[in-house]
A and B are shown apart, each in its own frame.
Chain A
Amino acid sequence: MGFFDSLAQWLGVRKKEVNVMVLGLDNSGKTTVINHFKPPETKNHDIVPTVGFNVEKFKSKSLAFTAFDMSGQGRYRNLWEQYYKECDGIIFVIDSSDKLRMVVAKDELDLLLQHSELKNRRIPVLFFANKMDVRDAVTSVKCSHLMGLENLSDKPWHICASNALTGEGLHEGVDWLTDQLKEVLERKKK
């Protein structure tokens, strides 16, 4: 198997694998976002609050993603850090209709960015301002302002409004992340 692996890699047939973490507060739509990328036959129809984490795999146009879909419930958030070390990128999902808890999300984000494992790595962070279809949802610009993203200068980041139920905006975001990760991989090769 090892031989074919390397052969496939060499020929460029096999997609490169990357690990990403999907983070965010509870009920922000992380599992739903990941569910959207899964092939139709394995899609899950009823989504329940995640306990602990889930591992899901999906593919974008040129990368194979392994997503660690972490639980956003308060009691499990301190377990996120166990998985920081191995991840190549972060998808941070924000419930843009939940203005009240936006500060909590900001706190969690700050903690995350200050964590010793991530602090000195130039790791791409993709933000989904999710639930854009909800009537009193804030715009992605407002959202990035509320999250204080303008101060985030040492990591590449991107925010896009999304609706995980319909899939609107998700591909745009993942395409950006793919590009960023590929750049990192290229740089590593050199």
Chain B
Amino acid sequence: MLSLKRDKKEEEEGGGNPFYNLEKSAVLQEARTLNDTPIDPRKCGHILTKLLYIINQGENIGQNEATKAFFAMTKLFQSNDPILRRLVYLGIKEMSKIAQDVIIVTSCLMKDMKGKEEFRGPAIRALCSVTDSTMLQSIQRYMDEAIMDKGPAVASAALVSALHLGKGSHEVVKRWVDAANAVATSENPMVEFHALCLLYHVLKNDKIALFKLVSKSRKFRSPYSYCLQIRIAAKLIEREDAGSNSELFDFIESCLRHKSEMVIYEAAQAIVQLKNTTAKDLAPAVSVLQLFCSSPKPTLRFAAVRTLNKVAIKHPAAVTACNLDLENLITDVNRSIATLAITTLLKTGNESSVDRLMKQISSFMSEISDEFKIVVVQGIRSLCSKFPRKHNVLMTFLAQMLRDEGGFDYKKEIVECIISTIEENPEAKEAGLAHLCEFIEDCEHTVLATKILHLLGREGPRTPTPSKYIRFIYNRVILENAAVRAAAVSAIAKFGAHCEDLMESCIVLLERCQLDSDDEVRDRATFYVNVLKQNQKPLSSAYILNGLQVSVVGLERALHQYTLEPTETEFDMKSVPLATQPLAEQKVRDVPGESASVKPSQDKVAASRQDVYQEQLAQVPELANLGTLFKSSRPLEVTESETEYYIQCVKHTFSNYIVFQFDCTNTLNDQLLENVTVDMEPAEGFEVSKSIPCVNLPYNKPGSTYTLVRLPSEPTQVTGTFACTLKFLVKDCDPQTGEPDDEGYDDEYVLEDVEVTVADHVQRVMKPNFAASWEEVGPENELEDTYSLSTMNTLEEAIKNIIQYIGLQPCERSDKVPEGKSSHTLYLAGVFRGGHDALVRAKLALDSSGVTMQLTVRSTDPNVSEVLATAVA
């Protein structure tokens, strides 16, 4: 695109583009002269060129105007000037999409199709672009003839046009299979390739026919044909899940010895991308790519390195053989090739080569574009997690890169890389924080600065020397814009709250901030100073360290509601639904580039899901007065997905009730369901108080029915299993029209049991400083017990299960077990239904008989402690 623009500019300078500044209306006006008789071919040709130019510039031409111009163009058929005629064909093809009644030129084109040799190919292409389905019948015979034609241009034109027609309707092209089959063995490479394309398009849903098409061992003339064959074969292997022992694989492998480089590369690429291949299968492909690495052609080198780079993610061992060749490419004049070579080496290399490679990269880092720099950073990121011991070299390198020039995306990638390294590797923490501190000294991106300040506030106080970070942070307060200053103020407050010896100094600093010119900064400073001066641990941890834990959307709605109905009572924070903790943290991060791009969207969904449900429930009048929604579970399937009715259950927990929402889909097109309810057999203590039916449930339109269950009055009784039966009135109906019969009959359908677990009663809450919260809740309601989890064989498995049963948020990254350890402590935090804080500490130890766990629960309510302590049992 850039080069195109530049070309245009150059043209302008040198005499100018004659079509530059063309006006659509002027051109259309001019198109009227096409109607003049006698025809002046040169003038008309010029006008048509202009018309084509503006269409191709993306100008939008109205249907009426286009039709007018189109009819004017049709009159040019009376001229036999070859250049003009070809322009007319082009014009027809372009206008066929925008003008009306384009079918009018059919007869003219059919005549040309049989006429002079030079017009035949273009006429066929134009004809196929104006034809509609009703006309196909009449041109079918001509197309057949054209495909079998001796002239390669005609045959190819017909084949390609048939392919385009086939995109609209599959049925149509089927008619030309025989003809295409006949010319697939044509002498002409182009015809052969196009015939093969058409055949593939027609047969793509017919596995057996495709198999025949590929396995027919014959010599092709065109290398493109081989490439297509290879792609088809690869797809077939994928579809069949056939491994390397299939006939098709042998075919692909044999293509590795073809004389055309294109075919060889295609084959290698196909083998590499197959899913279940062993290192042995890959070897020939990789060795071919290795040969390409030393090719004199830059395109081949680039293709080979790029493919090897991809292979390196999955099979680093297979690529190790190419290391020597890749090393040579590091010094390639083409920077793209060099970068890919290095990142590939980073993936395949061992710990000892890291230092050398990093030195190599830094030599030309300044010469490559940001895009490739990001690739390098991603490579380093994966190195960091692979070789934690090398963090020193890598960190220094990252810091170096941070200092260099670069765009926002690049800097962001580096900062994220450093942050993730800090989180994964405690040893790297100090160095990483130091680098980040240095970076924010001169950081032009507000977003990154605030992000780093937040991180400093969280991690800084827990380092051995927290005081050294304060200088960096306070510098921000003096030098930066309002948003960064505000973030810095919050960070300082966190230091003050966390480290008692620093509190005095922090208060002094914050007091200075109270004179700031920005409202937000002043407000924050005043607030923090006041909180800190109270010198009470619980207060500081609640208002400074833990932050806001309610859902922002929910808070907004609750406050709005509160202002609408003036009451004497104070606004109760507990009535606001809590923010659902995004589950992104539990995701495995193996491919840094991918997960980074997927994450943001997922977070958004997770955060707003509950708000969506709340809105949805408020729409049902019977459920509107239950209070605020405490928690909604994830949808749970209570039928198999392929059955007659597809039903998902969502459990909504309120303070005294649970609402079961059943989202039903009727997958039978000859039935209409009415009055659909779910009959629930309540567990002991629970009481079904209401059920709201779904009035009717037509085919394939989802509907919801709700069942309202009152929770037991006994506070410790919270779990239970409900047997569910779907009850409804069936009316048979016509599958086509959906018209139901008048009379129906009652029917029922047994669903899977729905379980209410402890996890449904708690909401995950992140406590950044678990120890402080633990002390704050205090030991009054502490319960402790020891369990032996004999079914678990690893700590990870045990942790996963505990989190699932209790449903609390793991804090301080305690859900990740450092490698090789046999004991671990898991911290979980959350809020129990009714707004009671709940904290769990689980000490786990692995021994020969399984995992032993000492579970300690603290809560602000004795019943809650009891419930949680029994959850695992």
Contact A79 B77 (CB under 8 A): no
14 contacts between A and B (CB under 8 A): A17-B38, A51-B106, A51-B135, A52-B105, A53-B104, A53-B107, A54-B107, A54-B108, A55-B108, A68-B78, A76-B103, A82-B104, A85-B35, A86-B75
Contact B104 A48 (CB under 8 A): no
Known: A54-B111, A68-B78, A79-B101. 15 other contacts (CB 8 A): A17-B38, A48-B138, A52-B105, A52-B106, A52-B107, A53-B104, A53-B107, A54-B108, A55-B77, A55-B78, A66-B78, A71-B104, A82-B71, A85-B35, A86-B37
Give residues of chain A (27-66) contacting chain B, Cβ–Cβ below 8 Å. Answer: 48, 50-55, 57, 66
- In Å, the complex CA distance between A53 and B101 comes to 12
Contact B107 A51 (CB under 8 A): yes
Q: Is B186 an interface residue (CB 8 A)?
A: no
- In Å, the complex CA distance between A24 and B110 comes to 21
B94-125: CB near A (< 8 Å → 1, else 0) gives 00000001011111101100000000000000
Q: Is A19 an interface residue (CB 8 A)?
A: yes
- In Å, the complex CA distance between A51 and B75 comes to 15
Contact B111 A76 (CB under 8 A): no
Query: Smallest CB-CB separation from A82: which chain B residue?
Result: B71
Query: Smallest CB-CB separation from A17: which chain B residue?
Result: B38
Give residues of chain B (360-385) contacting chain A, Cβ–Cβ below 8 Å. Answer: none
Q: What's the least CB distance linking A12 to chain B, in Å?
A: 17
Give residues of chain A (102-147) contacting chain B, Cβ–Cβ below 8 Å. Answer: none
- In Å, the complex CA distance between A90 and B108 comes to 20
Q: Of A51, A85, A86, which is in contact with the most chain B CB atoms at under 10 Å from its CB?
A: A51
Contact A50 B107 (CB under 8 A): yes
- In Å, the complex CA distance between A51 and B110 comes to 9
Contact A17 B37 (CB under 8 A): yes
Query: Smallest CB-CB separation from B101: which chain A residue?
Result: A79
Contact A51 B138 (CB under 8 A): yes
Q: Of A19, A55, A83, which is in contact with the most chain B CB atoms at under 10 Å from its CB?
A: A55
- In Å, the complex CA distance between A43 and B104 comes to 22
Selected from A51, A54, A68, the residue in CB contact (under 8 A) with B103 is: A51
- In Å, the complex CA distance between A54 and B115 comes to 13
Q: Of A17, A50, A52, A68, which is in contact with the most chain B CB atoms at under 10 Å from its CB?
A: A52
- In Å, the complex CA distance between A48 and B103 comes to 16
Query: Smallest CB-CB separation from B111: which chain A residue?
Result: A54
**Interface residues in B, total, Cβ within 8 A:** 19
Point out the residues of chain B lying under 8 angstroms from A48, CB to CB. 138
Query: Smallest CB-CB separation from B106: which chain A residue?
Result: A51
Query: Smallest CB-CB separation from B38: which chain A residue?
Result: A17
Query: Smallest CB-CB separation from A31: which chain B residue?
Result: B107
Q: Which 7 A-B pairs have the closest CB atoms?
A: A52-B104, A51-B106, A82-B71, A55-B77, A55-B78, A50-B107, A52-B106
- In Å, the complex CA distance between A71 and B101 comes to 13
- In Å, the complex CA distance between A59 and B163 comes to 42
Point out the residues of chain A lying under 8 angstroms from B639, CB to CB. none
Q: What's the least CB distance linking B109 to chain A, in Å?
A: 9
Point out the residues of chain A lying under 8 angstroms from B108, CB to CB. 52-55
Whether A57 touches B78, Cβ cut-off 8 Å, given contacts A17-B38, A19-B37, A85-B35, is: yes
Contact A86 B35 (CB under 8 A): yes
Point out the residues of chain A lying under 8 angstroms from B77, CB to CB. 55
Contact B37 A79 (CB under 8 A): no
- In Å, the complex CA distance between A53 and B103 comes to 9
Point out the residues of chain A lying under 8 angstroms from B105, CB to CB. 52-53
Q: Of B75, B107, B135, which is in contact with the most chain A CB atoms at under 10 Å from its CB?
A: B107
**Interface residues in A, total, Cβ within 8 A:** 19
Q: Is B74 an interface residue (CB 8 A)?
A: yes
Q: What's the least CB distance linking A52 to chain B, in Å?
A: 3
Contact A83 B138 (CB under 8 A): no
Contact A79 B104 (CB under 8 A): yes
Query: Smallest CB-CB separation from B68: which chain A residue?
Result: A82
- In Å, the complex CA distance between A67 and B77 comes to 11
Give residues of chain B (247-296) contacting chain A, Cβ–Cβ below 8 Å. Answer: none
Interface residues of A (CB under 8 A from B): 17, 19, 48, 50-55, 57, 66, 68, 71, 76, 79, 82-83, 85-86
- In Å, the complex CA distance between A57 and B79 comes to 10
- In Å, the complex CA distance between A57 and B135 comes to 26
- In Å, the complex CA distance between A144 and B74 comes to 33
- In Å, the complex CA distance between A98 and B33 comes to 40
- In Å, the complex CA distance between A31 and B35 comes to 23
- In Å, the complex CA distance between A76 and B102 comes to 11
Q: What's the least CB distance linking B98 to chain A, in Å?
A: 17
- In Å, the complex CA distance between A71 and B110 comes to 14
Selected from A17, A71, A82, A85, the residue in CB contact (under 8 A) with B107 is: A71
Give residues of chain B (605-649) contacting chain A, Cβ–Cβ below 8 Å. Answer: none
Q: Of B38, B75, B103, B105, which is in contact with the most chain A CB atoms at under 10 Å from its CB?
A: B75
- In Å, the complex CA distance between A55 and B37 comes to 14
Point out the residues of chain A lying under 8 angstroms from B101, CB to CB. 79
Point out the residues of chain B lying under 8 angstroms from A86, CB to CB. 35, 37, 75
Point out the residues of chain B lying under 8 angstroms from A54, CB to CB. 107-108, 111
Q: What's the least CB distance linking B82 to chain A, in Å?
A: 14
Query: Smallest CB-CB separation from A71: which chain B residue?
Result: B107
Point out the residues of chain A lying under 8 angstroms from B75, CB to CB. 83, 86
Point out the residues of chain A lying under 8 angstroms from B37, CB to CB. 17, 19, 86
Query: Smallest CB-CB separation from B41: which chain A residue?
Result: A1
Point out the residues of chain A lying under 8 angstroms from B111, CB to CB. 54
Whether A53 touches B135, Cβ cut-off 8 Å, given contacts A71-B107, A85-B35, is: no
Point out the residues of chain B lying under 8 angstroms from A53, CB to CB. 74, 104-105, 107-108
Point out the residues of chain B lying under 8 angstroms from A51, CB to CB. 103-104, 106-107, 110, 135, 138
Q: What's the least CB distance linking B14 to chain A, in Å?
A: 31
- In Å, the complex CA distance between A128 and B103 comes to 27
Give residues of chain B (138-167) contacting chain A, Cβ–Cβ below 8 Å. Answer: 138
- In Å, the complex CA distance between A53 and B109 comes to 10
Point out the residues of chain A lying under 8 angstroms from B138, CB to CB. 48, 51
Q: What's the least CB distance linking B446 to chain A, in Å?
A: 63
Point out the residues of chain B lying under 8 angstroms from A55, CB to CB. 77-78, 108
Give residues of chain B (1-51) contacting chain A, Cβ–Cβ below 8 Å. Answer: 35, 37-38
Point out the residues of chain B lying under 8 angstroms from A50, CB to CB. 107
- In Å, the complex CA distance between A50 and B138 comes to 11
B212-238: CB near A (< 8 Å → 1, else 0) gives 000000000000000000000000000
Point out the residues of chain B lying under 8 angstroms from A82, CB to CB. 71, 74, 104
Give residues of chain B (54-71) contacting chain A, Cβ–Cβ below 8 Å. Answer: 71
Q: What's the least CB distance linking A33 to chain B, in Å?
A: 15
Point out the residues of chain A lying under 8 angstroms from B78, CB to CB. 19, 55, 57, 66, 68
Q: What's the least CB distance linking A185 to chain B, in Å?
A: 13
Query: Smallest CB-CB separation from A85: which chain B residue?
Result: B35
Point out the residues of chain B lying under 8 angstroms from A68, CB to CB. 78
- In Å, the complex CA distance between A17 and B107 comes to 23
- In Å, the complex CA distance between A19 and B35 comes to 12
Query: Smallest CB-CB separation from A88: which chain B residue?
Result: B37
Point out the residues of chain A lying under 8 angstroms from B104, CB to CB. 51-53, 71, 76, 79, 82
- In Å, the complex CA distance between A175 and B462 comes to 109
Point out the residues of chain A lying under 8 angstroms from B110, CB to CB. 51
- In Å, the complex CA distance between A83 and B77 comes to 13
Q: What's the least CB distance linking A28 to chain B, in Å?
A: 16
Q: What's the least CB distance linking A8 to chain B, in Å?
A: 13
- In Å, the complex CA distance between A55 and B105 comes to 10
Q: What's the least CB distance linking B36 to chain A, in Å?
A: 8
Q: What's the least CB distance linking B578 to chain A, in Å?
A: 67
Point out the residues of chain B lying under 8 angstroms from A66, CB to CB. 78
Query: Smallest CB-CB separation from A48: which chain B residue?
Result: B138
Point out the residues of chain B lying under 8 angstroms from A19, CB to CB. 37, 78
Point out the residues of chain B lying under 8 angstroms from A71, CB to CB. 104, 107
- In Å, the complex CA distance between A52 and B38 comes to 22
Contact B103 A52 (CB under 8 A): yes
Q: Of B35, B71, B74, which is in contact with the most chain A CB atoms at under 10 Å from its CB?
A: B74
- In Å, the complex CA distance between A66 and B107 comes to 16
Q: What's the least CB distance linking A18 to chain B, in Å?
A: 9
Q: What's the least CB distance linking B89 to chain A, in Å?
A: 15
- In Å, the complex CA distance between A134 and B240 comes to 66
